[in-house]
A and B are shown apart, each in its own frame.
Chain A
Amino acid sequence: MTVLINYGLGNINAFINVFKRVDIPIRTANTVEELKGASKIILPGVGAFDHAMEKLNNSGMREALDQMVLVDRTPVIGICVGMQILGKKSDEGVLPGLGWIDGDVKKFDESTIQYKTKLPHMGWNDVNVTKSNKLFDGLENNALFYFLHSYYFNCNNNDDVIADATYGVNFACAVNHHNIYGVQFHPEKSHQYGERLLHNFAIL
Chain B
Amino acid sequence: MLRPRIIPSLLVHDKGLVKTVKFKDPKYVGDPINAVKIFNEKEVDELAVFDIDASAHNREPDYSLIERLANQSRMPLCYGGGVKTVEQAQRIFGLGVEKIALSSAIVQSSQLVPQIADRVGVQSVVAVLDIKKKMLGGYEIYTHNGKKATGLNPFEFAMKLQQLGVGEIVINSIDQDGVMKGYDMPLIDKIREKISIPLTVLGGAGSLDDIKKVVAKHGIIGVGAGSLFVFKGIYKAVLINYPNRKEKEEIFNL
A108 to chain B, nearest CB (A): 12
Question: Across the interface, do B197 and A117 meet the contact criterion of CB distance under 8 Å?
Answer: yes
Specify the main secondary structure of chain A where it touches its partner. mixed
Cβ of A47 and Cβ of B2 under 8 Å apart? no
Which residues of B lie under 8 Å from residue A200 when comparing CB positions? none
The residue among A12, A46, A116, A167 with the most chain B CB atoms within 10 A of its own CB is: A116
**Which residue from chain A places its CB closest to the CB of B218 in the assembled complex?**
A116
Interface size on A, residues (CB 8 A): 33
Residue A146 CB within 8 A of the other chain:
yes
Q: 4 nearest interchain CB pairs?
A: A13-B96, A115-B220, A47-B121, A125-B2
* Among B4, B75, B197, B221, contact of A189 (Cβ-Cβ < 8 Å): B75
Interface residues of B in 188-210 (CB under 8 A from A): 192, 196-199
Bound Cα distance A146, B76 (Å): 8
| Given contacts A117-B197, A117-B220, A120-B123, A17 and B71 within 8 Å (CB-CB) | yes
- From the candidates A12, A47, A118, name the one contacting B196 in the complex (CB within 8 A): A118
Q: By the criterion of a CB under 8 Å from any partner CB, how many residues of chain B are at the interface?
A: 31
Chain B residues proximal to chain A, CB less than 8 Å: 1-5, 40, 43, 45, 70-76, 95-96, 98, 121, 123-124, 167, 192, 196-199, 218-221
8 A Cβ contacts from A16-74 to B: 17-18, 46-48
Q: Is A14 an interface residue (CB 8 A)?
A: yes
Is the pair B98, A11 in contact by a Cβ cutoff of 8 Å? yes
Asked whether A123 is an interface residue with its Cβ less than 8 Å from the other chain, the reply is: yes
Given A13-B70, A46-B121, A117-B199, residue A123 in contact with residue B219 (CB < 8 A)? no
The answer to whether B98 touches A125, judged by C-beta atoms less than 8 angstroms apart, is no
* B2 and A124 contacting across the interface, CB-CB below 8 Å: yes
B1 and A125: CB pair below 8 A? Answer: yes
Given contact pairs A17-B71, A122-B198, A146-B75, A191 touches B40 in the complex (Cβ within 8 A): yes
Check A126 for interface membership: any CB of B closer than 8 A. yes
**In the complex, A116→B218 CA distance in Å?**
8
Our pick among B2, B124, B196 for the contact of A116 (Cβ within 8 Å) is B196
Contact across chains for A11 and B96 when beta carbons are under 8 A apart: yes
